[in-house]
Chains A and B, each alone.
Chain A
Amino acid sequence: MTRTTYRWAALFLALPLAVYIAFVVFPLLSSFYYSLTDWNGFDVNYNFVGLANFEKMFSDRLFSNAIGNTLIWTVAAIIVPTGGGLALALVLHERGIFANIYKSMFYLPIALALAVIGQIWLWIYQPNWGLINATLRNIGLENLAQAWLAKPQFALLAVILAWSWQQTALSMVIFLAGLTAIPQELIEAAHIDGANYFQRVRRVIVPLLAPASVVVIALAVINSLKSFDVLYVMTRGGPFHSSDNLAMFMYNESFQKYNMGYGSAIAVVLFLITLAVIAVYFRQSAQVERLYD
C-alpha cells in the first residue's frame, strides 16, 4: 500500500473506531471504575471502596444463586439447542421440497426478537388458558397443570426452554450448512463398508461436523451468558430471585436497589466469564481449522 492509501484507510477506520471507543471501550472501562465505588447510580457524590464489592459477592446468597442459575443455563445451552439443532438438521438435510418447508418453519423463531419470544411463551405458560395447561387438562392430566412461571422450581427451566426454542433454530441452520460441506463420498463409502445409519452419524458425520459444533456451542454459551431480554419479559428473575441469572442480578442491583457500584462489580465478573468462554472458542476454532487444513 502507498502512503496515501494508508492515510485513506486510517481516515475511514477512524470513524468506526471512534464509535467503538465511545460506545464499547469507554463504558467498559467506566464500569470497571465504578465497580470499585459505592456509587448509587444517581448521587453526584460517592466513595472509593476498593475491592469491597467483590468481597461482598462471596457472602451474598443472591450472587451464588445467580451464578448457579447462570451455570444451569449454560449447561442447558450446550445440551438442548445443540442436540435439538443437530437432530433437526440430520432429519431435514437433503429431503426435498417438504423438508424446505419444515426448515423455514423451524427457522422462523430466529426472525423474532427475544422479547417477542418471551411474550409468546408467557401465553404458552399462562396457568388458566395457556397452551401447556390447556393441553394437559384436555388429555386428562390436569394434576400436572402448574402456574409454571410462578413456581420457583419451574420458572428458570421454563424460561430456558423458551430461549432454547430460538437457539435451536440457530443451531439447526449452522449444522445444515455444516452438513452440505461434508463430501458425499465419505458417507457413501461408510455405507458400502456396512455402517448403518447411526454408525454413519456417529463415526462420520458428527466428527466432520466439528467446526460447526464449535460455532454452535460457543454461540449457545455466549448467548446464554448475555440472555436478559427473554428473562426480563417472562419473570424478571422471579419469583423471588429463583430465575435470576448474572445479567438479571446485575440489573436488579444497579437499577432496582440502586447499588450501581455492586452492579458494576457483577458486570465485571460477567465480562470476565464471557471473555474466558470467547478465548476458549478462539483456541478451539483455530485448532479445528488446523485439523482440517
Chain B
Amino acid sequence: MSIKRLLFGLTVFAVVLLIGGAVVMAQQQDISIVHYYSSALGQETMTALFDTFEAAHPEYKIVDNSAGHEDFKTQILVTIAGNNPPDIFSYWAGARTQFVVDADRLLPLTDFWDENSLDDIIPAGVKPAAVYNGEIYNIPMNVHIVGFFYNPKVMEAAGITEMPTTWDGFIAMCDTLKAAGVNPIALGSLNRWPAQFWFDYMVSYTAGADYRQALMAGEAAYNDPEVATAMETWKQLTDAGYFVPDANAYDWTDAADQVANGDAAMTLMGTFITGYWDGNGLVAGEDYDFFPFPVINPDLPVVTHGTVDGWAVPASAANPDGAKALLLHMLTPESQATWALGQGALAAVNNVDTSIYSPVMKKAADYLAQVQFLSGYDLSTTPPMAEGGLNMFAQFMNDPSGYMAYLDEAQAVADDVFGS
C-alpha cells in the first residue's frame, strides 16, 4: 500500500469516527461535575452513585472532573471566575457558599426545593445550611458532626468505663489517662483546620452559641474577655500536658492513627474519621467509639459543631436540568444510605433508616437529632477572616502562653475584613 493510500484510509477512518461520535453525543447530554470526594473511598462511592444515575437516566452521561481536596478550593473558583464552570459541584455549606452567592455566580435552587418538597425530607436543623440571602443555593448531601472519637481498649486499660458528660468529668478522665501513661488527646493541626474545633467548642461552651455567631459575623471582637476566657480554658488543657506534643507536625490522619494505635486515647474530629478508620479495617464500637464534647457551662445551650457538604449549581452551568436530575438522584433514600455508609457520614435526609448506621454513627446521628447544629469555624466566617483565625490556632498550638497577643493579631485581621 502506498503512503497516499494509507493516509487516505486514515482520513476516512477519522471522519467516520468524528461523525459517529457526534451522533452518540447528540443522543446523550453531558453533565460535568467537580467534587472533592477524591480519596479512594469517596471516589468509589461517588462513582457507584453516578453508575446508578446513568442506569436510570440513559439520556445523561456524567463527566467527572474530581479534584484533590486542598486543590479543589482554588480550582473550582478559578473555573467559575473564568466562566468555564461545571454543571454541578460539591461545596461546603456556610461562608464558602456565601462567598460565591455574593458574587452572583450560583443558580438559586429555591424553586427546585419547593417543587420537590425538600422541606419534608431535609431536617429543619440542616436547612439553614442551604439558605443564603433568603434563597436556596446549596442542596445538602451529608452532615458531619464533631466530637470525641476514642480508643475503647485504651480507655479500658486505664480503668475508664463511663465517658464524661461534664467538664470536671473530662478533666478527671484526662488526669486518669495521664497517670496511666497515655497521652489523653491527639491533635494533628498541620493543615490548621483540625485545631479550629477546639476553638469552636471552647467559645460555644464558655461564651455561648449566640456570642460565637456574633464573633463569626464580625459583631464581637477577638480580644473580648469572652474569647480570652475560651482560650484560657483551652490553655489549661495544654498546660496540663493532655495533648500529644507538636500537634502542628501532624495531619489529622496521623492523629487518627495515634488513637488507633493506642498512642493516644482520643481525638476531637468530625464523623468523617469513621470513614478513614473503616477504610483501614477498624471495627466501629470495638476499635473506636464516640462521645460528644462535654458541656463546660451547663447554663448555655448544647450544640454540635460540624460540616454540611452539599451541591451547588453555577449560574452559568451549561446543563442545569441535568444537574437538577442528578440532585434528585442524590437525595433518594437509597443514594443517601449508600453515600452515608460509603463515606462515613450522616445522611442529609430524614427518610434513611438509622439502623443502617454502625453503632458509633448511630450515636452521632441520635446526638445530632437532639441539639443545635453550628458550622465549624472556617465555614462560619469569611475566608480572609478564617485564614487569620486558623493562623492563630496554629500559633496557639505551638506556644499557648502568648494567646492574648494572637487574639490581638486576629482582631487586626477582623478590623481589616469587617471594617472597624
Contact = CB atoms under 8 A, between A and B. Distances in A.
Interface residues of B, number: 27
A151 B391 contact: no
Given A44-B103, A238-B394, A240-B394, A259 B249 contact: no
A259 to B, nearest CB: 7
Given A44-B103, A44-B104, A150-B246, A241 B398 contact: no
Contacts of A151: 398
Contact of A240 (B105, B245, B398): B398
A199 to B, nearest CB: 48
A239 B383 contact: no
A191 interface: no
Label chain B's interface by main secondary structure: helix
B104 A257 contact: no
B118 interface: no
A271 interface: no
Contacts of A257: 383-384, 387
Task: Using C-beta atoms within 8 Å of the partner chain, give the interface range for chain A.
Answer: 20 to 34
A25 interface: no
Contacts of A41: 77, 81
| Of A149, A240, A256, A257, most B-chain CB atoms within 10 Å | A240
B212 interface: no
B103 A239 contact: no
Nearest to B392: A240
A127 B384 contact: no
Contacts of B105: 42
Interface string B78-119: 001100000000000000000110111100000000000000
Interface in B241-266: 245-250
Contact of B248 (A42, A238, A256): A238
Interface in B376-396: 383-384, 387, 391-392, 394-395
B394 A239 contact: yes
Given A152-B398, A257-B387, A238 B103 contact: no
A252 B388 CA distance: 11
Contact of A42 (B81, B246, B398): B81
Contacts of A150: 190, 246-249, 398
A258 interface: yes
A17 interface: no
A43 interface: yes
B271 to A, nearest CB: 26
A255 interface: yes
A257 B81 CA distance: 16
Contacts of A259: 384
Interface centre among B73, B80, B395 (most CB of A within 10 A): B395
A42 to B, nearest CB: 5
A272 interface: no
A101 interface: no
B415 to A, nearest CB: 12
Contacts of B77: 41-42, 255
A268 B130 CA distance: 40
Interface in A125-162: 127, 147, 149-152
A258 B80 CA distance: 14
A59 to B, nearest CB: 10
B246 A147 contact: yes
A263 to B, nearest CB: 12
Given A147-B248, A150-B398, A238-B248, A42 B80 contact: yes
B305 interface: no
B249 A149 contact: yes
B221 to A, nearest CB: 19
B74 interface: yes
A255 B394 contact: no
A256 B384 CA distance: 7
B144 interface: no
A240 B74 contact: no
Contacts of B192: 238
A256 B387 contact: yes
A252 B387 contact: yes
Contacts of B73: 255
Contacts of A149: 249
A11 to B, nearest CB: 25
Interface string B178-214: 0000000000001010000000000000000000000
Nearest to A236: B191
A109 B242 CA distance: 41
Contacts of B383: 256-258
A55 to B, nearest CB: 14
Interface in B44-75: 73-74
Nearest to A241: B391
Interface in A237-271: 238-241, 252, 255-259
Nearest to A40: B103
A149 B387 CA distance: 20
Interface centre among B245, B248, B250 (most CB of A within 10 A): B248
A239 B399 CA distance: 12
B99 A239 contact: no
B149 to A, nearest CB: 21
Contacts of B99: 42, 258
A240 B246 CA distance: 14
B104 A127 contact: no
28 contacts: A42-B77, A42-B103, A43-B102, A43-B103, A44-B103, A44-B104, A127-B246, A127-B249, A147-B245, A147-B246, A150-B246, A150-B248, A150-B249, A152-B398, A238-B190, A238-B394, A239-B394, A240-B391, A240-B394, A240-B395, A241-B391, A255-B73, A256-B383, A257-B387, A258-B99, A258-B383, A258-B384, A259-B384
Return the 4 tightest CB-CB contacts between A and B, nearest first: A147-B249, A150-B249, A147-B246, A150-B248
Given A43-B102, A240-B391, A240-B395, 4 more contacts: A43-B104, A147-B245, A252-B387, A259-B384
